[in-house]
């Protein structure tokens, strides 16, 4: 079971909110057998619940009476699960409680697997780790052991990756990225009790403004040294940079501010957001001035 399979449920009845964690099957049974009569009602409720996938704020709501409402949403990540268990989604002026007896067993097992108690705090348990061989590719969506999601924006080397935090939109270079499987200490690792995710030796966090990121320097420091020996090398470098901006500007998983920043950087540097227009300008030599200036600067340095 993934954290994203857990349904967060708040049952508001007579001024008291009861929180629990359910699987989709247990939630459907809870709502249909205990609460609803109409199959059409169930279908509409499932549609509303489905819209909460990957959403930070949206909830499916069903009103049964003036004093009874059920709220539900799919859990997005470990941070949201912790927030829910600590009562941060509950109304401040209402009494709330967590009912372990209403929870699906699979959800409680997941809490144990990730080392979290029902109050949303990390349990003081040790973990056993095993290295997992994995090859990374540009465009991959990776999760770390805290279930935070990252998109691989560029692969500088087999284990040095340019990553974008999908939730915050922040960029970082993960240095010495590796994949591990983790399970509670003392237990045999199985598909049910293990968590698989990436970790890195250290992270280099980058400026929020893309135009302030020196990608060429990053490639030289964390990947194969980039040698600009002739005009074709320089144009290849520009093409890679334009492609990065263009991908980010269209990425639905990126925040609106990141898409806007990528679009602005693309137009500021290349004067267009259309790949065909960019290629025409590139082949016409409109961007070659930077190469000429770099060669002149390099020659000047060599003469000193």
- How far apart are alpha carbons 225 and 44 in whole angstroms? 56
Segment 85-99 mean pLDDT: 92
Cβ neighbours of 35 (radius 10 Å): 15
What pLDDT, in 10s, does the model give residues 173-208? 999 999 999 988 888 998 888 889 999 999 999 887
pLDDT (0 to 100) of residue 240: 81
**Tokens representing residue 293 in the block:** 């200036």
- How far apart are alpha carbons 253 and 250 in whole angstroms? 9
234 pLDDT above the threshold of 70:
yes
C-alpha torsion angle, residues 121, 125, 126, 131 (rounded to 10): -50
Q: Which residues contact 69 (CB under 8 A, 6 or more apart)?
A: 12, 61, 62, 63
What pLDDT, in 10s, does the model give residues 142-155? 999 877 889 998 88
Q: Which residues contact 88 (CB under 8 A, 6 or more apart)?
A: none
- How far apart are alpha carbons 104 and 101 in whole angstroms? 8
Residues of the chain with pLDDT > 90: what percent? Answer: 40
Read off φ and ψ for residue 126, nearest 5 degrees.
Answer: -85, 165
| Strand 16-22, strand 95-98: pairing | parallel
**Tokens representing residue 224 in the block:** 């194969």
What does the mean pLDDT of the chain come to?
86
Q: How far apart are the first and last CA of the chain?
A: 64
Sheet with 60-65, side-by-side order of all strands: 60-65, 68-74, 7-13, 16-22, 95-98
- How far apart are alpha carbons 61 and 72 in whole angstroms? 7
What pLDDT, in 10s, does the model give residues 203-233? 999 887 666 777 778 888 888 655 677 888 8
Inter-residue contact 238 to 215 (CB < 8 Å): no
35 pLDDT above the threshold of 70:
no
Angle subtended by helix axes 275-284 and 231-250, to nearest 10: 170
Say which residue the tokens 């957001």 belong to.
273
Band of pLDDT at residue 251, cut at 50, 70 and 90? confident
Inter-residue contact 104 to 21 (CB < 8 Å): yes
pLDDT (0 to 100) of residue 304: 42
pLDDT (0 to 100) of residue 124: 61
- For 8, the 3-state DSSP assignment is strand
């Amino acid at each position: 079971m993934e954290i994203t399979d857990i349904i967060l449920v708040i049952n508001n009845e007579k001024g008291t909110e009861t929180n629990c964690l359910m699987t989709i099957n247990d939630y459907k049974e809870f709502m249909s057998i205990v609460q609803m009569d109409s199959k059409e009602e169930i279908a509409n409720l499932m549609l509303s619940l489905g819209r909460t996938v990957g959403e930070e704020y949206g909830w499916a709501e069903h009103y049964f009476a003036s004093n009874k409402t059920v709220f539900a949403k799919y859990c997005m990540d470990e941070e949201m699960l912790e927030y829910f268990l600590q009562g941060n989604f509950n109304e401040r002026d209402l009494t709330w409680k967590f009912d372990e007896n209403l929870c699906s067993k699979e959800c409680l097992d997941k809490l144990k697997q990730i080392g979290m108690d029902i109050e949303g705090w990390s349990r003081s348990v040790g973990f056993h780790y095993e290295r997992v061989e994995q090859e990374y590719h540009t465009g991959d969506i990776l999760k770390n052991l805290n279930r935070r999601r990252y998109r691989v924006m560029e692969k500088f080397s087999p284990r040095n990756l340019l990553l974008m935090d999908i939730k915050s939109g922040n960029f970082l270079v993960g240095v010495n990225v590796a994949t591990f499987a983790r399970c509670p200490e003392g237990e045999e690792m199985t598909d049910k009790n293990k968590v698989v995710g990436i970790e890195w030796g250290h992270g280099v966090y980058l400026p929020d403004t893309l135009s302030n990121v020196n990608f060429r320097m990053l490639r030289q420091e964390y990947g194969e040294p980039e040698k600009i020996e002739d005009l074709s090398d320089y144009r290849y470098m520009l093409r890679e940079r334009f492609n990065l901006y263009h991908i980010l500007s269209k990425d639905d998983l990126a925040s609106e501010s990141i898409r806007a920043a990528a679009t602005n950087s693309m137009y500021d540097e290349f004067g267009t957001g259309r790949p065909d227009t960019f290629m025409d300008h590139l082949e016409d030599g409109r961007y070659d001035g930077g190469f000429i200036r770099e060669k002149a600067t390099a020659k000047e340095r060599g003469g000193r």
